[in-house]
């Protein structure tokens, strides 16, 4: 799917964390805490999208307090961490927000994201996503996860809506 997808129905973004908002690396400290690095440009884009009226949500299989605090600092209200069934959370989110699947741009990078990516309006991934994910994507960023792929996607969508 090489042509630019039609983002005209896009009203909300959903992102995975590891491999999308981060580069997928975990730094394990002696205390047992696992630390990740987030890209400041992704953070700016998330805040900007929220200010422009887009809904932003996070659905991640892992649950870490530091991740939650970072996302809240970006004004993200819909944060689902420690999720085992992303498709179930996706369906509940749609109902809660009165959105249709076609309104959602979802960015994931690995097999746990696949089911939701097959149901959303626009499936997107970072440049370094696994091949099974790239096959179902409407938009593959040229940027790797944790290095500005989220910024790239949000900026692309908002520019098509003249909201950037």
Task: Write the DSSP string, 12-66.
Answer: EEEE-STTTTS-S--EEPTTS-EE----HHHHHHHHHHHHTT-EEEEE-S---HH
- Percent of all residues in the chain with a pLDDT value above 90, rounded to a whole number: 94
> Any idea what the CATH number is for the domain that residue 107 is in?
3.40.50.1000
Is 6 part of any domain?
Answer: no
- Enumerate residues 6+ apart whose C-beta is below 8 A from 54: 10, 11, 12, 13, 158
Q: Which residues are annotated as a binding site?
A: 16, 18, 47, 62, 70, 86, 109
Give binding residues for Mg(2+) as ranges. 16, 109
Structural domain includes residue 116 = yes
Has residue 65 been placed in a domain? yes
Per the structure, how many domains does the chain have? 1
Q: List, as residue ranges, the binding site for substrate.
A: 18, 47, 62, 70, 86
Specify the pairing of strand 34-35 against strand 27-28.
antiparallel
Mean pLDDT confidence for 126-144? 98
Q: What is the mean pLDDT of the chain?
A: 96
108 occurs within a structural domain: yes
**pLDDT score at 3:** 73
143 in any annotated domain: yes
In a domain, 7, yes or no: no
Please report the pLDDT score of residue 134 as a whole number. 98
pLDDT in tens, 45-82: 999 999 999 999 999 999 989 999 999 999 999 999 99
Is the predicted pLDDT of residue 1 greater than 50, yes or no? no
What is the model's pLDDT at position 144?
98
pTM above 0.85, yes or no: yes
Tell me, yes or no, whether 133 lies in a domain.
Answer: yes
pLDDT tens for each residue of 19-39? 999 999 999 999 988 899 999
* 128-132 mean pLDDT: 98
- Is pLDDT above 60 for 104? yes
Q: What is the pLDDT of residue 29?
A: 93
Which residue carries 């996706």 as its tokens?
90
Q: Is residue 67 part of a domain?
A: yes
Domain extent at residue 134 = 12-161
């Amino acid at each position: 799917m090489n042509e630019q997808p039609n983002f005209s129905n896009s009203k909300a973004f959903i992102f995975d964390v590891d491999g999308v908002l981060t580069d997928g690396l975990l730094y394990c400290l002696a205390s047992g805490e696992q630390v990740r690095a987030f890209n400041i440009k992704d953070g700016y884009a998330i805040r900007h999208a929220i200010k422009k009226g887009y809904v932003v949500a996070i659905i991640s299989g892992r649950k870490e307090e530091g991740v939650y605090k970072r996302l809240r600092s970006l004004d993200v209200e819909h944060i689902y961490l420690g999720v085992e069934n992303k498709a179930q959370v996706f369906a509940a989110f749609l109902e809660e927000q009165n959105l249709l699947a076609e309104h959602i741009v979802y960015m994931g990078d690995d097999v746990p994201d696949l089911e939701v990516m097959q149901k959303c309006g626009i499936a997107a991934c970072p440049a370094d996503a696994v091949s099974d994910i790239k096959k179902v994507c409407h938009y593959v960023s040229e940027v790797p996860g944790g290095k500005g792929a989220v910024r790239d996607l949000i900026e692309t969508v908002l520019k098509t809506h003249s909201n950037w």
